Amino acid sequence: MDAPAKIDLGPVTIALLTDGFWRNDGGCMFGVVPRELWRREHPPDEHNRIRLNLVCPLIIRGNEAVLVDTGIGNRLSDVERKIFDHGDGWLCDGLERLGMEPGDVTCVVLSHLHFDHAGGIVRRRPSGRFEAAFARARVVVQAGELEVARSSRNERLRAAYRHVPECLEPVAQRLEPVSGTVELIPGVRAAVTGGHTYDHQVVRVETGQGSFVHLADIVPTRSHLRGPWNQAYDLDALRTMEEKERYLSRASTENGWVSFAHDDRLLAARVRREHGRYQAAEGLLTGEDGATEPGRA
Ligand SMILES: [Zn+2]
C-alpha cells in the first residue's frame, strides 16, 4: 500500500485515508438516474453492485488530528461482508503509513451515522467485544442526527440506524453532540447541510493557503458533481442539490479541493465549472488498493 495522498494547505495538512473498497447497489447510489447512464462510468457486477471507496480525510494541524468519518471498519457479520464485499478495513494501515497510531487521533467528526461512515468508530476484538477504535478522540456528531438515529420510529430510518447502539456505546463517554456549525480546531469547521439525512454535516478547511471540503454523501463520487445525480437514500434530494451547488460553486471560485467519500477512482480534486457543469480538474487518484497515487483526473 502506498502512503496516503496529502493536500498541503500551509498550517493544515489533509491526508486522504481510506477504509478500503466495497460494493453497493448502483441503483441505490444514483437514485432517479437510469442505469444506462451510470453504468458506463460505474460498471455494475452480476449483482448490480458498483465499486466504491471509503475516503476518510485526516486533517492535521500541530498536535491535533481530526478524522472525518470512519468507514465501515471490521464490525460486519460474515453475511454482510459478502453483501458489501468489504474486509477488515484499512484506516489503521493508512495511519501507520503516516507514522501515526489510532491514539493520535484527537477528534472524530461523523458526517452522519450510516454504517459506512460510523462503523469504523469501533473495532471488534477477537473476543467479539467492541472497543473504541480511537481511544483518545472526542466524537463530534450533530445532536439532531443522534436523536433520529436513537429514537425514530419510522421503519426506514430504524433500519438505516440499527447498528448505532453497537457503534456508540463504546464511545459514549467521548460523544460531543453539537448543533449547527462548529469550529473543531482553528480553520476547520463542521456545518450542517441536511439533504442525505436531516442533519448531515460536511467539514471545511480554510487557511490563507487554500480551502478543502469533504462533502461526504452530498457529492459521494465524481459522477455526483452533476446536480440531479443523487442517491436514492437521500431524505431530501432537492436540499442535497442546493447544498451541492453552494459548496461546489464556492470551491470552483476559490480553486479549492473537494474530496469524494465513495469514488473508486478519485480521492479528491479541484473542481472547475465548464459549460455550466462542474468537472473534476487536477485530482488525486485512487491506487489499486483503494489508497493513493497522485495524478491527474
Ligand atoms: Zn455513504
Tens digit of each residue's pLDDT (9 = 90 or more) over 208-266: 999 999 999 999 999 999 999 999 999 999 999 999 999 999 999 999 999 999 999 99
Domain contains 289: yes
Tell me if 204 is assigned to some domain: yes
The number of folded domains in the chain is 1
pLDDT band at 292 (very low <50, low <70, confident <90, very high): low
Question: Shortest CA distance to 164 belongs to which of 182, 141, 181?
Answer: 141
Ligand 1 centroid – CA 216 distance (Å) = 7
In a domain, 238, yes or no: yes
Domain holding 86: CATH number? Answer: 3.60.15.10
Running DSSP on this structure, what letter comes out for residue 104?
Answer: G
Quick one: pLDDT band at residue 290, thresholds 50, 70, 90? low
Instruction: Answer yes or no: is 79 within a domain.
Output: yes
User: In this model, does residue 129 exceed pLDDT 80?
Assistant: yes
Has residue 296 got a pLDDT over 50?
no
Q: Cα(261) to centroid of ligand 1, in Å?
A: 7
Residue ranges with CB less than 5 Å from ion ligand 1: 116, 217
Residues β-bridged to residue 285: 266, 293
Say if residue 280's pLDDT is above 90: yes
Residue 109 Cα to ligand 1 midpoint, Å, equals 14
pLDDT digits 0-9 by tens, 96-106: 999 999 999 99
Q: Which residue in 21, 170, 174 sits closest to 109, CA to CA?
A: 174
Is residue 194 included in any domain, yes or no?
Answer: yes
Instruction: Flag whether pLDDT at 151 surpasses 60.
Output: yes
- Average pLDDT of the chain? 95
- Banded model confidence at residue 294, pLDDT cuts 50, 70, 90: very low
Q: For residue 217, how far is its CA from the centre of ligand 1 (angstroms)? A: 5
Contacts of residue 48, defined as CB under 8 A and 6 or more positions apart, other chains included, come to: 25, 26, 27
Between the CA of 208 and the centroid of ligand 1 the distance, in Å, is 30
Supply 195's cell numbers. Answer: 439533504
* pTM of the shown model: 0.95
The yes-or-no verdict on residue 287 having pLDDT over 80 is no
Q: Which three cell numbers stand for residue 16?
A: 486522504
pLDDT at 84: 97
Q: For residue 24, which of 44, 49, 43, 42 has the smallest C-alpha distance?
A: 49
- Kindly give the distance from the C-alpha atom of residue 114 to the centroid of ligand 1, in angstroms, as a whole number: 7
Dist. CA 50–CA 39, nearest whole Å = 9
What is the extent of the structural domain holding 94?
Answer: 6-294
Percent of the chain with pLDDT over 70: 96
- Separation of CA 264 and ligand 1 centre (Å): 13
- Specify if 1 maps to a domain: no
What are the tens digits of pLDDT across the range 176-198?
999 999 999 999 999 999 999 99
